[in-house]
Amino acid sequence: MKSSGMKMYMSKTWVVFVCALVCCFLWGSAFPCIKIGYSLFSIGASDSASQIVFAGTRFTLAGILVILFGSLIGRKPLVPARTSLHMVVKLALVQTVAQYIFFYIGLAHTSGVKSSIIGASNVFLSILVAVVVFHMEKLTAKKVIGCVAGFAGVVIINLSSGSLDMNLSFLGEGFIFLSAVSYAFSSALIKRYSENENPVTLSGYQFLCGGILLTGFGLAMGGRISLAGAGLPALGLLLYMAFISAAAYTLWGILLKYNPVARVAVFGFMNPVFGVLLSALFLGESSQAFGLTGVAALLLVCVGIMIVNGSAGTAKERSQDELESV
């Protein structure tokens, strides 16, 4: 498919909707998987170094999967151009290393409820970074209203657990927020860099590079995980988590390449919603997910997504966003 045809196809509303929801479902499934993975690999809540090794191993495998899959699809080795190496390194440092060092350590020092609510701020931050820092698009009232509605849904579904308190710590809530900031910058960088490089190539090599750096950092801190001593369920879970990153981030990168950041980023509100729903299935928290609050939260998130996509849905408004990025 030629570039112009690909752009027209990937910017269709139903394509963005389906692809973004697939990404969010995969990312949402990571919430219970991380907790289960800590248990299967005997990683303690305070063992930040081993958590980083765990993350690094996952992303190294994700990079290998993307590179192999991309090479098979393209029928030739997937290799970045020499002029793209600095893009790979920057993305690896921002998207994988910084984001997940902050996320894994922060998750171990705060509740899942606070993590979901604070992490959902990455949607606002992604749009603000694209507007203020990179001047890729304009901030409109509809985008703000849509974000507020989506964020309200995330807050409602998490408040229903009754486990929210006002205790804050830099190592916990602070690190989760810094993870969200890293995510916001990585979204803008992906869009900018994919103008000159295949987003699949960027995804694969930034994961490989970032995963190796994360693993080395965790090992240097004294972290360890035993792959040889792990059972098949643990290894299977690790491979699935690698697949989550490989598939979701690659597809998300393609969406960002062909659409305004706001139009794609707003779907990020579905991540914690899927996280709560899937945690209910796998961690036995059904009362939180399937009650009236869960339904109300899902409706608010959907309304927010429709408002933002409606604001970017006309040809005139899409062209204005695209002109901002030139």
Look at residue 268 and tell me if it is in a domain.
no
Output the average pLDDT for the chain.
80
CB atoms within 10 A of CB 219: 16
Q: Model pTM greater than 0.95? A: no
Look at residue 192 and tell me if it is in a domain.
yes
Distance of alpha carbon 60 from alpha carbon 132, whole angstroms? 32
pLDDT score at 2: 56
pLDDT score at 195: 84
> Residues of the chain with pLDDT > 90: what percent?
24
Contacts 24+ apart (CB under 8 A), 138-143: 138/320, 138/321, 138/324, 140/311, 140/317, 142/307, 142/308, 142/310, 142/311, 143/262, 143/266, 143/308, 143/311, 143/312
Least confident of 56-65, 116-125, 137-146, 274-283: 274-283
Look at residue 176 and tell me if it is in a domain.
yes
Residues making up the chain, counted from first to last: 326
> Locate tokens 């990683």: which residue?
43
Look at residue 156 and tell me if it is in a domain.
no
Chain segment 279-295, per-residue pLDDT in tens? 667 666 555 555 666 66
Q: How confident is the model at residue 3 (pLDDT cuts 50, 70, 90)?
A: low
Q: Which range marks the domain in which residue 243 is found?
A: 3-137+166-259
Chain segment 7-58, per-residue pLDDT in tens? 788 888 888 889 988 998 888 888 778 888 888 998 887 788 898 999 999 9
Look at residue 252 and tell me if it is in a domain.
yes
Look at residue 251 and tell me if it is in a domain.
yes
pLDDT score at 13: 82
Number of structural domains in the chain: 1
Chain segment 70-93, per-residue pLDDT in tens? 899 888 899 998 888 999 999 999
